[in-house]
């Protein structure tokens, strides 16, 4: 395959981290590479010494090109990409290129929410069992950077943007955690989005699936299946008396785990199922779960001053993530639950939040572009102009035993650099009211 690539003329689209990793990999093989970025003022790293074209391209640009490797941030429907297809250029992503070259056992995780938690947890479990494992893809290392290295297993977090340009990825085990409204501005409909996520099962040997949700079941043929859920069952993974069970027997008490909420019960079950596929005994895997430190900004308690639980769930950039947080925390709350939500809804149907808001939330504080849409779903609403104001208001409302949850259900791009910046502003504002 390396010899075939070396004879081709390849265009790499996008100058982000993924695009840069593709350029490094291909130039290292001696491939003739051109770079194209759709942005007219994109910054070009100084180390890139191949031709770079910025902005829109015409049909002539694709003359003599064999392959276009598309970064996840550029839609396959972009006019420039359409011109490439019309010129007979093969369009793939870095995951597909990796799939054609890798011989390492691969485990894949996708879904609207929980991907990073399961990816990092599974990597932690495999490493704890003595396997040389690495997280890659949408989190961790770019996949092409791992080629030529000696790994027992690679754990791939795969977004819908990555899967839509992938067709031959062979996975030893895979899971589709959940489906909720997200990236509909890119995929057009929930059906199209779900179909894209289903591509993870195209060449999968063993699926690990949430038994209560049909949309998570493989639509393509998979040899074997492990199922999990929150029900009390004697088959595969279940949940009873705050403990995860296997074949009806308790194996992991959630009181011993740092991940909180019933949504994380499902995440842990998915990781345990995938670790079994990699050959890790369940007792070893469960012990590793107990020592796992949750990823930041994903339903993590960051303060408990004055007995108030401040929860940072800034990574909840879509409705499904916030629904999971409300279900996971709301069912276990002792005092009031004060929710801070809002931002750029990315075209999603925010009204699906209403049932959970009415069931679990006591006070709602809204902000951002689509804050008014969320506010219209609830009765005790306090619209604010910025996050520090929201934190001050929440502090005035909260007493010992209450929980303040930042779970926006929206992207951060209308008010912040990214979800990490939003979390930083949240934490700084808490520190000020606590001072």
Sort residue 193 into left (φ over 0), alpha (ψ -120 to 50) or beta.
Answer: alpha
The structure tokens listed for 346 are 């990315």
List, for residues 149-164, the tens digit of each pLDDT value.
Answer: 999 999 999 999 999 9
Catalytic residue of the set 113, 138, 264, 267: 138
**Is residue 245 scored above 80 in pLDDT?**
yes
pLDDT average, residue stretch 393-397: 96
**Is residue 434 scored above 90 in pLDDT?**
no
Complete domains list, the chain, with CATH: 2-93 (3.40.50.720), 102-290 (3.40.1190.10), 300-434 (3.90.190.20)
Task: Please say whether the beta carbons of 3 and 126 come within 8 A.
Answer: no
Task: Specify whether 138 is catalytic.
Answer: yes
**Is residue 181 scored above 70 in pLDDT?**
no
Residue 192's pLDDT is what?
87
Catalytic residue of the set 124, 178, 183, 382: 183
Catalytic residue of the set 115, 124, 206, 263: 115
pTM: 0.83
Half-sphere exposure in the Cβ direction for 334 (13 Å, CA): 7
> What is the C-alpha separation between 185 and 172, in angstroms, rounded?
32
List, for residues 13-55, the tens digit of each pLDDT value.
Answer: 999 999 999 999 999 999 999 999 999 999 999 999 999 999 9
- Give CA 417 to chain center in angstroms: 18
Task: Specify whether 428 is catalytic.
Answer: no
């Amino acid at each position: 395959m390396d010899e075939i690539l070396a004879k081709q003329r390849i265009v790499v689209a996008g100058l982000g981290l993924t695009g840069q990793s593709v350029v490094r990999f291909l130039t290292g093989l001696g491939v003739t590479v051109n770079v194209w970025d759709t942005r007219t003022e994109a910054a070009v790293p100084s180390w890139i010494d191949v031709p770079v074209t910025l902005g829109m391209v015409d049909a002539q640009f694709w003359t003599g090109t064999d392959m276009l490797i598309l970064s996840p941030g550029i839609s396959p429907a972009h006019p420039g990409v359409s011109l490439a297809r019309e010129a007979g250029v093969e369009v793939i992503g870095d995951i597909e290129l990796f799939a054609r070259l890798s011989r390492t056992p691969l485990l894949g995780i996708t879904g609207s929410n929980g991907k990073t938690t399961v990816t990092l947890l599974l990597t932690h479990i495999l490493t704890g069992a003595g396997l040389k494992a690495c997280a890659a893809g949408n989190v961790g290392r770019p996949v092409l950077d791992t080629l030529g290295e000696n790994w027992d297993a690679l754990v791939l977090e795969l977004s819908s943007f990555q899967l839509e340009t992938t067709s031959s990825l062979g996975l030893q085990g895979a899971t589709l955690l959940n489906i909720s409204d997200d990236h509909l501005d890119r995929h057009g409909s929930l059906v199209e989005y779900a179909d894209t996520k289903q591509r993870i099962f195209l060449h999968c040997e063993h699926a690990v699936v949430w038994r209560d949700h049909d949309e998570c079941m493989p639509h393509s043929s998979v040899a074997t299946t492990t199922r999990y859920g929150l029900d009390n069952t004697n088959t595969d993974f279940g949940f009873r008396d705050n403990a995860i069970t296997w074949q009806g027997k308790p194996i992991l008490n959630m009181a011993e785990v740092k991940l909180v909420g019933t949504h994380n019960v499902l995440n842990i079950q998915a990781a345990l199922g995938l670790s079994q596929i990699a050959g890790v005994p369940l007792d070893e895997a469960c012990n590793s779960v107990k020592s796992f430190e949750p990823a930041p900004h994903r339903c993590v308690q960051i303060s408990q001053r004055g007995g108030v639980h401040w929860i940072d769930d800034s990574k909840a950039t879509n409705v499904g993530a916030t629904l999971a947080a409300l279900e996971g925390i709301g069912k276990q709350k002792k005092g009031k639950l004060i929710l801070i939500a809002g931002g750029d809804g990315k075209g999603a149907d925010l009204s699906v939040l209403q049932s959970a808001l009415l069931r679990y939330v006591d006070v709602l504080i809204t902000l951002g572009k689509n804050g008014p849409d969320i506010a219209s779903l609830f009765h005790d609403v306090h619209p604010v102009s910025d996050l520090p104001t929201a934190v001050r208001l929440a502090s005035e409302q909260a007493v010992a035993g209450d929980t303040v949850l930042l779970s926006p259900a929206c992207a951060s791009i209308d008010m912040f650099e990214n979800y990490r910046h939003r979390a930083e502003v949240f934490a700084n504002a808490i520190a000020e009211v606590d001072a």
